[in-house]
Amino acid sequence: MSDGALGRVWFVTGCSSGMGRAIAEALASSGDRAVITARSVSQIQNIALRAPERMRAVALDIADRNSVQTAVKAAIDSFGQIDVLVNNAGIGLVGSVEECSEQEIEHVFETNVFGTIRVIRAVLPHMRKRRSGVILGMTSVLGFQAVPAVGIYSATKCALEGMLEALAGEVAPLGIKVTILQPGVYKTEFRAKSLAQSRAVIEDYAATSGKMRTGLVGYPDSAGDPAKAAAAILTLINSGKPLPGRLALGADAVALIKNKLKVIEKSLTEWESLSVASGGSESTMSLHSSAVSQSSN
């Protein structure tokens, strides 16, 4: 995947704070090369200067197509390749589905979904040419188990999960691997810097979304350390093992996912006879099953 002793080349979005910054700092201490990005280079230049021979700080706004193309070109011009793409940049939105305005919803989707797709599409031609690469998509455990007040944010993460899962099957024959990262709650600046609240507040949602608005202000003491998550991501890439389709980050994420799977299994079993009676045949799933098997290998 990489040029031997020179180490892999990482391209990481959203490095100004939070998980992205933790990943950038971990890479500064590794032997790999990296292009770390943020909308303002001044926020990340100090990290790149820790290893100037191996790191570049590049301006990137994933909501801007020209910015994406320029940043990817800068990475290729600097190191000749991109081995690992980490799609970390994203924003949040708190509010019930009804409280969030169309403008607020579109802004979150433009960044989290279209911005991420924009970066992946810009990097893929280079990975395809080399028949090698890893794409890590940072979603959220809330993309698997949504809760009141973050329905729109969860919708963007669900969209990414579906896109990345399909992409994994598309690029597997080309030597490119895709892993979905599903973090739980970590102590980062995300809530303070990247988590907006809907301007509208509807009293009828006080007992549901309203409670979550208050609960999302701070972090519990049990929230994870982003440095540990960053270390886990580097361990994953350096493990030498086949990469998983998904990796939960944090004990809370593991517990929430396990519980959701139990709920799904219980519901499937309880309503299986009605589901089966509604039509279709197991044989029609052969095409889907083969695609899932291919992307999981």
The CATH H-level (homologous superfamily) assignment of domain 4-296 is NAD(P)-binding Rossmann-like Domain (3.40.50.720)
Beta bridge partners of 246: 180
Q: How many CA atoms are closer than 13 Å to the CA of 124, on its beta-carbon side?
A: 15
For residues 65 and 115, the answer to whether their CB atoms sit within 8 Å is no
Looking at residue 79, its pLDDT comes to 97
Q: Specify whether 153 is catalytic.
A: yes
pTM: 0.91
Mean pLDDT of 270-280: 94
**Where do the structural domains in the chain lie, given as residue ranges?**
4-296
The answer to whether the beta carbons of residues 70 and 44 sit under 8 Å apart is no
Name the catalytic one among 153, 186, 205, 219: 153
Tens-place pLDDT, residues 17-33: 999 999 999 999 999 99
Strand-pairing partners, residue 7, are: none
Q: Which pLDDT score, from 0 to 100, does residue 293 have?
A: 56
Residue 193 pLDDT > 70, yes or no? no
